[in-house]
Structure 1
Amino acid sequence: MPQIPSENLRELFDRPVLGGLPPALRDGARAWLASAPAMVECRLPWDVLADTLDILGGLSADAEVLVATLWYDVPALREQVVPDLAARDPAIASLVEGQKAAAQVWALHAEHPAGSNTEGLRRLLLAIVQDLRVVPILLARQLARMRAAGDLPDEERRALALLTRDIHAPLANRLGIWQLKWELEDLTFRFLQPDTYRQLASELDGKRIERERFIERVKAQLREAMVAHGIAAEISGRPKHIYSIWRKMQRKQVPMDELYDLRAVRVTVDDVAACYAALGVVHALWAPIPSEFDDYIARPKANDYRSLHTAVVGPEGRTLEVQIRTHEMHAQAELGVAAHWRYKEGGSKGADRSFERKIAWMRRLLEQSGEGDTLGGGLEDELAEDRVYALTPKGEVIDLPQGATVLDFAYHVHTMVGHRTRGAKVNGRIVQLGHTLRSGDRVEILTAKIAEPRRDWLLPANGFLASGRARDKVRAWFHKLDRANNVQAGREILERELRRMGQLSADLAPLLKRFHADSVDDLYVQIALGDVGPTQVGRALFEEQRPPAPAAPSPRPPPARRSADAGSSFTVQGVGNLLVQLGKCCQPVAGEPIAGYLTRSRGVTVHRTGCAAFQRLAAANPQRVLPVEWGSGAGGYEADVQLTAVDRKWLLKDVTNLIAQQDVHVLGIHSEPLRNSGRVRFRLRLRVADYAQLSTLLGKLDALPGVEEARRSA
């Protein structure tokens, strides 16, 4: 890290650009610098640091932005003056962290400077930066570095120019900060194509004196005409940037002499009406060129640029471009969104709605691909935070939907990579295939030689795939298999679910119409292809088995329906308040078909209708059976789960973590090793919300490494 004299830093705090800093921070920095070592480490040379702050001052940056820039570039200042920065000023801390995060993108670009993934890197940068004010800080620092790059070695200067071309100049263009955009582009052009740059510069220099004299005559003539028509206007000449000239020559395939806007003037007026009045004066004074008129006031550019552009045949028959805009439009054209430094996310409660729309607009704008003066493809509906930008081991950026897993990542890279996936590493650590990715994660997919996707990847409850695109690829793979294989696979998937839930012997025929299947085999195929989930079938079975409500006896009025007590989760029909409890033998869960049995001393015991103990009691004393329904005030239900697995390190930790992630409460846990088998059995008593939550949990437990069986205890 370079070192700069501490006396230079002390002098910097006396400059007007830092005059708006909070007194406590400014005085604290001065006090430390008074006793600091003669040289202080800085990320930038002294002249580049000072120039960066001057550029931000020209953009009317606020105090938080200036402090964050200084604190990042001179770490010793932050460590000595505000070591608890995050607690004292979270906004400045967020700006500092955003600059640190951007360093990841610079490193990725350095790995592949000639790559074609520059748009992905720009998107990654915007995804990891929380406060958008970081972007103009990065642009100002890069411009200061480019201005000083003439003294760098050729290789280092070229790398800096490539980074500017790929990342910074396009972002400056999208933000509409023209005074940075043009200079960044010109310096990049100068360092990457020095011969072409020198040739164009020499041609322009040879005509400079003559062009300046011509512009002065035009300005005087136009000023007279505006005064004569009572229009208050400021008139100035505008230099044409070399890179812009070169691009226009390439686009139109014409020599420099045939460009209309090498000679240009700008007319700045008070309001929009005066813009069109001034346009009429210009066209009355000189003959317009019809094909060269653009009304960006009526139809602003995508980055909100507004102005009238016209080309005319001016004095001496020479072509001339005239731009007409208001003072407010001019500030917007020069500074872009940096003219609105309030665009920090999460403003005050009374924030202007139009300003909030501006923030959303800028987020969308920055995401767009495409180069040049306009953005291609239209604005997307999703903001940056709705996407995840993960990295391949080679640094390529993969654009995924929010919530995407490593398996989604594999299928996005290539279909066969997804089919052959057997594991993954994220940031060097082995993770499960359902691991959810975050922007900036570097993912390495571990593959097998043979493509063998698993059918349980298709089950939403298992959480392997969040992308519909990836799920379609898995489904297409299984569509290609023959019907017999799909029938067999679907049967195994459903039997596993029904065995877990104690419904293995249930009749599926009543469900065929519900799932639009002509036969049980057709239902199995739908399950195998992921069109129907086994949990859906299980829930439908419970609904089919629910006993119908008894008809009200006649001529007596219908019996009142009373809850057993205020906190009960089910309703007993036709009786008054009774003690009600769940049967310990079967422990029914909300959504399952249930029935009540009136005991001699403990009130009504609620059982699953398929409970063996209940069926024995009902056969012996059918008069004691009562209709029972689930109520709407359930606070959770107890269920016993049995899990058998290979005994391994961290098994219990993985099981309890998964249960916690599913928001299920553990009421009791017991484990016992199975002798001479290397296996262990867990008996868990859980509190779940309903049948669906229990089914999802059992499916996820069954998918844990080493778990052989996870089922509900009878």
Structure 2
Amino acid sequence: MIDADDLLSLVRNYNPKTNEALLRGAYAYAQRMHEGQTRHSGEPYFTHPVAVAAILTEQRLDDATIATALLHDTIEDTKGTYTEIETLFGHDVAELVDGVTKLTNLELSSRESKQAENFRKLLMAMSKDLRVILVKLADRLHNMRTIRHMKPEKQAKKAHETMDIYAPLAGRMGMQWMREELEDLSFRVLNPEARTSIMRRFVTLQKETGDVIPRITEDIEAVLDKHGLKADVFGRAKKPFSIWRKMQEKDLAFSRLSDIYGFRIITGTEDDCYRILGAIHQRWRAVPGRFKDYISQPKSNGYRSIHTTVSGRDGKRVEVQIRTRQMHDVAESGVAAHWSYRDGVRVQNPFAVDPAKWLEGLTERFETAEDNEEFLEHVKLEMYSDQVFCFTPKGDVVKLPKGATPIDFAYSIHTRIGHSCVGAKVDGLRVPLWTRLKNGQSIEIITAEGQTPQASWIDIVVTGRAKAAIRRMLREEDRERYIKLGRELARVAFEQFGKKATDKALDTAARAIGLKDGDELLARIGSAELSARRVVARIYPELAGRTEQGEVEAVRAVIGLPSGTEIRRAQCCQPVPGERIVGITYAGRGPIVHAIDCGALAAFDTAPERWIDLHWSEGRHAAVHNVTIDVTLSNTNGALGRICTLIGEQNANISDLHFIDRKPDFFRLLIDVDVRNAEHLHAVMMAVELDSDVASLQRFRDLERRP
């Protein structure tokens, strides 16, 4: 394990002015908090946060981020608290540690809707301070490096989560080295046979041809010397997963793969980059369609480089990347370059992108998603996409993901242009709308009045924005037809359970699912976006049995709380399923769940960091949620007994009675009732209020009854 002196030495290599007291204090505190804890491997748990900190020193990150890495598990896994960390290490570090803790509690590999919802929360956490996700990525990298000590099913879950979310996120942030390593570590878990096969073939190739990397490196250096150009040349073989992905995408056997070697040429100036490109192309034949100039058209994460592929020694294809030292720093660190230090000061790298602007550019394309599944589709499309740069007839640049079509181009300009698109010209020539666009092409969109999107466009376009706009338009066009079909499907589904699909039942189901009204519900059923059986199961779960939603009798009732956290409802407002809720954190006690309209929340308006976004899980809840109702009742024989009977007939349990005012003709009492959800509570109160002896009835809420 790296000791404190060694870690400080790693930091001083790039930041001689480091705050030694802060890092030593964080090291000692975390070591004390994790004392006695072990990892799956049997090693002391503290080896993990130290390794995470060491990974971040490779990115030359600031002291607050290194301290956060050391402390990132203390709030979740030890007796350490936010308040204690803030007192010892300052507000900045405490906020970062709290942010990493919240990210750790997101289970991103669960079913689609929850995964999308949690990814929204991940982006929210990133927007507060991007260093949070840098620590989380380093945390995940070390966990993947040591994943062999976990149980096989846990390994598979973590590997899928890493491949789906963390690896592409690292790539999107510009940390390509981390993306490649995360992918390859996940590949080792998910498809070990394929990875072993790739490695075996690669070893065989090296035996047959020798190690070609030094020879090609010498060839490139000789060309540069001939033209008087100074640069450093580095060569490497591509990672096994990168080779495997290329084999799958292009449906090629390993023997037919050619560009499995990559070379980087790092020089002093931008002018030298283009001179080197000329020298390389003069010496070797360029492969058509394999040239990208990310210097003149940089990626959104600040990445700049020239990419070209040439037929090198013995006809082998070789990928060459040409960039300056500053460009290389951004290429290695990505968005993290914004916080990089060198010689004790923040590096003023002109190519480092502003994290706030980068995140804004990433998230603005997701805002058009209408539901969680659509949002997740946007995320995965954006995360995995490379980019192409095309031009409008006026010369404006439009960035699109790799594989984009003229329809994507049209929607990226304006939704109206996308809807009315009937054709396109690429570099002045008419092309089919399914044509895949390439870098540097000029696109002209041909429109016509009265044109509307075709259903087949959904399978042609690749951008989330285009897919969402087309779906919305198709839904509007076919709305009446879908409503009619949906009504018939709903009628049949309801009749299977002896019920009628009345307008009231449909409106109730729509509200439960989060749709506007019954017509919108029917349109979704008719367009096959929603099953009629799911609708029936939502409002009659006891009849439908265990539906695809599942009952929530024995699972967590609140989504958003840390794993293993006990549900603690605020007694001032007594929230129940069906009501909007929010969590408020308390030092040393865990979060308390409040109703969103609770008057007690006003006291926390100045402390937004204590608020947690929560919601009730879907499905049928057990009748265990205690609510107090305030009843003023006529003092007549049998009145109270009758009220108790009415509550029992609604399948609700009375847990307590408390008289607060007795008069000769009336008395007032508080009744504690256990209910399933807001609808169940409404049914109970309606039954009681209809009794002739009840003078008044209301839900009792008392701000003095704090948890």
TM-score, normalization by structure 2: 0.51
Which ranges of structure 1 fall in alignment gaps of 5 or more residues?
1-6, 382-405, 449-645, 652-675, 682-703, 707-714
Q: 1:421–1:447: 8 Å Cα contact kept in structure 2?
A: no
Distance 1:308 1:166, change over 3 A: same
Q: Secondary structure at the match of 1:303?
A: coil
Q: Secondary structure at the match of 2:576?
A: strand
Residue 118 of structure 2 corresponds to residue 121 of structure 1: yes
In structure 1, give the amino acid aligned to 2:10. P
Q: 2:100–2:136: 8 Å Cα contact kept in structure 1?
A: yes
Q: Secondary structure at the match of 2:166?
A: helix
Aligned to 1:415: 521
C-alpha separation between the residues in 2 aligned to 1:48 and 1:198?
A: 28
Residue 101 of structure 2 corresponds to residue 89 of structure 1: no
Aligned to 1:239: 237
Count of aligned pairs: 425
Q: 2:60–2:340: 8 Å Cα contact kept in structure 1?
A: no
C-alpha separation between the residues in 2 aligned to 1:312 and 1:71?
A: 48
C-alpha separation between the residues in 2 aligned to 1:210 and 1:303?
A: 40
Which ranges of structure 2 fall in alignment gaps of 5 or more residues?
367-378, 388-400, 402-461, 467-509, 523-533, 541-551, 560-566, 568-574, 583-595, 597-610, 622-666, 673-691, 701-707
Q: Secondary structure at the match of 2:249?
A: helix
Distance 1:211 1:244, change over 3 A: farther
Q: 1:260–1:321: 8 Å Cα contact kept in structure 2?
A: no
In structure 2, give the amino acid aligned to 1:678. V
Q: 1:32–1:81: 8 Å Cα contact kept in structure 2?
A: no
Aligned to 1:65: 65
Per-residue CA distance 1:178-207 (angstroms, 9 max, x = gap): 121100000100110011110011111222
Q: Offset at 1:317?
A: 2.4
Q: 1:410–1:418: 8 Å Cα contact kept in structure 2?
A: no
Q: Offset at 1:11?
A: 6.0
Aligned to 1:369: 380
Q: Secondary structure at the match of 1:291?
A: coil
After the TM superposition, which residues 670-685 of structure 1 pair with which residues of structure 2 at under 5 Å, given as runs?
A: 678-679=694-695
Residue 155 of structure 2 corresponds to residue 157 of structure 1: yes
Please, which of 601, 615, 619 is the counterpart of residue 442 of structure 1? 615
C-alpha separation between the residues in 2 aligned to 1:202 and 1:172?
A: 28
Distance 1:87 1:408, change over 3 A: farther
Q: Secondary structure at the match of 1:234?
A: strand
Per-residue CA distance 1:6-55 (angstroms, 9 max, x = gap): x9765666553488653443454677799x69944477734433321211
C-alpha separation between the residues in 2 aligned to 1:359 and 1:155?
A: 37
Please, which of 224, 227, 239 is the counterpart of residue 226 of structure 1? 224
Q: Secondary structure at the match of 2:304?
A: coil
C-alpha separation between the residues in 1 aligned to 2:113 and 2:558?
A: 24
C-alpha separation between the residues in 1 aligned to 2:81 and 2:620?
A: 49
Q: 2:337–2:352: 8 Å Cα contact kept in structure 1?
A: no
Q: 1:296–1:308: 8 Å Cα contact kept in structure 2?
A: yes
Aligned to 1:270: 268
Q: 1:311–1:320: 8 Å Cα contact kept in structure 2?
A: yes
Q: Offset at 1:322?
A: 1.7
Aligned to 1:318: 316
Aligned to 1:54: 54
Aligned to 2:357: 360
Q: Secondary structure at the match of 2:301?
A: coil
Q: Secondary structure at the match of 2:384?
A: coil
In structure 2, give the amino acid aligned to 1:91. D
Aligned to 1:16: 10
Q: 1:186–1:242: 8 Å Cα contact kept in structure 2?
A: yes
C-alpha separation between the residues in 2 aligned to 1:29 and 1:426?
A: 33
In structure 2, give the amino acid aligned to 1:127. M
Distance 1:87 1:432, change over 3 A: farther
Per-residue CA distance 1:488-523 (angstroms, 9 max, x = gap): xxxxxxxxxxxxxxxxxxxxxxxxxxxxxxxxxxxx
Q: Secondary structure at the match of 1:306?
A: coil
Q: 2:293–2:306: 8 Å Cα contact kept in structure 1?
A: yes
Aligned to 1:468: none
Please, which of 272, 296, 299 is the counterpart of residue 298 of structure 1? 296
Q: Secondary structure at the match of 1:323?
A: strand
C-alpha separation between the residues in 1 aligned to 2:352 and 2:464?
A: 18
Q: Offset at 1:446?
A: 7.9
Aligned to 1:641: none
Q: 1:41–1:74: 8 Å Cα contact kept in structure 2?
A: no
Q: 2:50–2:69: 8 Å Cα contact kept in structure 1?
A: no
Per-residue CA distance 1:239-296 (angstroms, 9 max, x = gap): 2011111111111111223333212322112222211111111111011122222222
Q: Secondary structure at the match of 2:237?
A: coil
In structure 1, give the amino acid aligned to 2:515. Y
Please, which of 241, 255, 258 is the counterpart of residue 253 of structure 2? 255
Q: Secondary structure at the match of 2:358?
A: helix
Aligned to 1:105: 106
Q: Secondary structure at the match of 2:72?
A: helix
Per-residue CA distance 1:664-710 (angstroms, 9 max, x = gap): xxxxxxxxxxxx953359xxxxxxxxxxxxxxxxxxxxxx879xxxx
Distance 1:215 1:28, change over 3 A: closer
Distance 1:29 1:56, change over 3 A: closer
Aligned to 2:490: none
C-alpha separation between the residues in 2 aligned to 1:87 and 1:174?
A: 34
Residue 282 of structure 2 corresponds to residue 287 of structure 1: no
Distance 1:678 1:175, change over 3 A: same
Q: 1:421–1:445: 8 Å Cα contact kept in structure 2?
A: no
Distance 1:342 1:326, change over 3 A: closer
Q: 1:226–1:232: 8 Å Cα contact kept in structure 2?
A: yes
In structure 1, give the amino acid aligned to 2:306. L
Q: 2:33–2:78: 8 Å Cα contact kept in structure 1?
A: no
Aligned to 1:486: none
More deviation, 204-213/178-187: 204-213
Per-residue CA distance 1:532-576 (angstroms, 9 max, x = gap): xxxxxxxxxxxxxxxxxxxxxxxxxxxxxxxxxxxxxxxxxxxxx
How big is the alpha-carbon RMSD for the aligned residues of Structure 1 and Structure 2? Answer: 4.7
Distance 1:408 1:24, change over 3 A: farther
C-alpha separation between the residues in 2 aligned to 1:294 and 1:60?
A: 29
Distance 1:222 1:87, change over 3 A: closer
Distance 1:240 1:66, change over 3 A: same
Instruction: State the structure with more CA Rg.
Output: 1
Aligned to 1:548: none
Distance 1:301 1:259, change over 3 A: farther
Identity among equivalent positions (%) equals 27
In structure 1, give the amino acid aligned to 2:386. T
Distance 1:174 1:103, change over 3 A: same
TM-score, normalization by structure 1: 0.51
Per-residue CA distance 1:59-109 (angstroms, 9 max, x = gap): 112110111121223569994998251686111111111111112213x63
Distance 1:650 1:293, change over 3 A: farther
Per-residue CA distance 1:590-638 (angstroms, 9 max, x = gap): xxxxxxxxxxxxxxxxxxxxxxxxxxxxxxxxxxxxxxxxxxxxxxxxx
Q: Offset at 1:443?
A: 2.4
Per-residue CA distance 1:338-372 (angstroms, 9 max, x = gap): 111279xxxx9xx9999885422234326643143
Per-residue CA distance 1:416-473 (angstroms, 9 max, x = gap): 7999889x9866731775768787413246899xxxxxxxxxxxxxxxxxxxxxxxxx
Q: 2:130–2:355: 8 Å Cα contact kept in structure 1?
A: no
After the TM superposition, which residues 213-612 of structure 1 pair with which residues of structure 2 at under 5 Å, given as runs?
A: 213-341=211-339, 358-365=355-362, 368-370=379-381, 371-374=383-386, 376=401, 410-411=514-515, 415=521, 429-430=575-576, 440-444=613-617
Aligned to 1:600: none
Q: Offset at 1:160?
A: 2.2
Q: 1:407–1:418: 8 Å Cα contact kept in structure 2?
A: no
